Amino acid sequence: MSISVAIAGVTGYAGAELLRLLVAHPAYASGELTIGALAAGSSAGQQLGELLPHLPEFGDRVVVETSAETLGGHDVVFLALPHGHSAALAHELDAEVSIIDCAADFRLRSAAEWEKYYGSPHAGSWVYGLPEMPGHRDAISQTGRVAVPGCFPTGATMALMPAVHAGLIQPNINVVSITGVSGAGKKASVGMLGAETMSNVRAYNTAGKHRHTPEIKQNLGEFIAADIQLSFTPVLAPMPRGILTTATAPLAAGVDAVQARATYEDFYADETFVTVLPEGYQPQTKSVVGSNGVQVQVEVNEDAGLLLVTSAIDNLTKGTAGGAVQCMNLMHGFPETAGLPVAGLAP
């Protein structure tokens, strides 16, 4: 059996990363996976060699327009489109087509939260595509519609999930995530110009305004009945890729460093893509660049009575395209790790 795959938004950072990963997928090498329509908006009609020179195998492929007609007929469609553009297109595709949405359109279950943060009508919710969350792996494998997590929620959820699940902390959480500029996509923006970002670090969408805030709360809320108080601060750093997340929260009564470490090691013991680092080692973005890996460190600040968890991911791989391919593997019976590198690039 073979499957055909299409990508909408292939010339964006997430779409290009999807194509890079799919080319390295063993099912592509064996012929079990074929890559069909490669679609985009304003770049339709151009050759991919002009736009994605790092993927020479597809240099002579012409980008097609993004429509139900060009994407229909494939077994899997990846939607790597701006937020708010996936829903209408998804509803035009046949139910037999597996759709994996890398945008936010179907992530949030709350219509009120969607409308508050995105300012448009809520399109509904799909299975949330973070396999490492308890119960989600089975749900992903049994559905034809998956919403891939946002990059910040991936880093924050992977950092905090074991602690919330085990009751190690009180639900008053502070998260700071430092991100590379590719997280903003390719759209033209003065704030993303090299002259604005080089040798500069700045916070943005602070004090609860970032759209990923309700998504992080939704994820952690699966493991606790109490309301979660969350402060999320994203910080833009002058690097192409990567997210370093630090999360702190007050310890629950009686929790110590030994218990915290054992909890994290047990929780992630069977997760191929997650490494709980030995004591004394810190996650760093350069160690996960180009990989689907997650590095995690857990510590207890006894003087402050806080749990400190740090995680590092590549925002384009585990944070978007790698997570999407991981979901495709589960949905179509491939080994979950197929085509997904665990090792990062160094130097």
Across the strands, what pairs with 35? 5
Q: Which residue out of 151, 169, 255, 260 is catalytically annotated?
A: 151
CB within 8 Å of 339: residues ≥ 6 apart: 21, 22, 24, 25, 26, 27, 28, 325, 329
Rg of the chain on CA atoms, in Å: 20
Complete edge-to-edge strand list for the sheet that includes strand 145-147: 64-65, 33-40, 3-8, 76-79, 98-101, 145-147, 127-128
Q: Specify whether 151 is catalytic.
A: yes
Burial 264-295 (b: 16+ CB within 10 A, else e): beebbeeeebbbbbeeeeebebebbbbbbbbb
For residue 173, give both structure tokens: 């959480």
Distance CA 252, CA 307 (A): 9
Contact indicator for 247, 173 with CB cutoff of 8 Å:
yes
How distant, in Å, are the alpha carbons of 133, 224, 266, 268 from that of 162?
Answer: 9, 12, 9, 8
Q: Residues 6 or more apart from 69 whose CB is under 8 A from it?
A: none
Q: Give the pair of three-digit tokens for residue 153.
A: 């929620």
**DSSP state at residue 187:** S
In the structure encoding, which two tokens stand for residue 295, read together?
């590095």
Residue 183: other Cβ atoms inside 10 A: 23
Query: Distance between CA atoms of 206 and 235, rounded to whole angstroms?
Result: 9
* Size (the chain), residues: 347
- Which residues are designated catalytic? 151
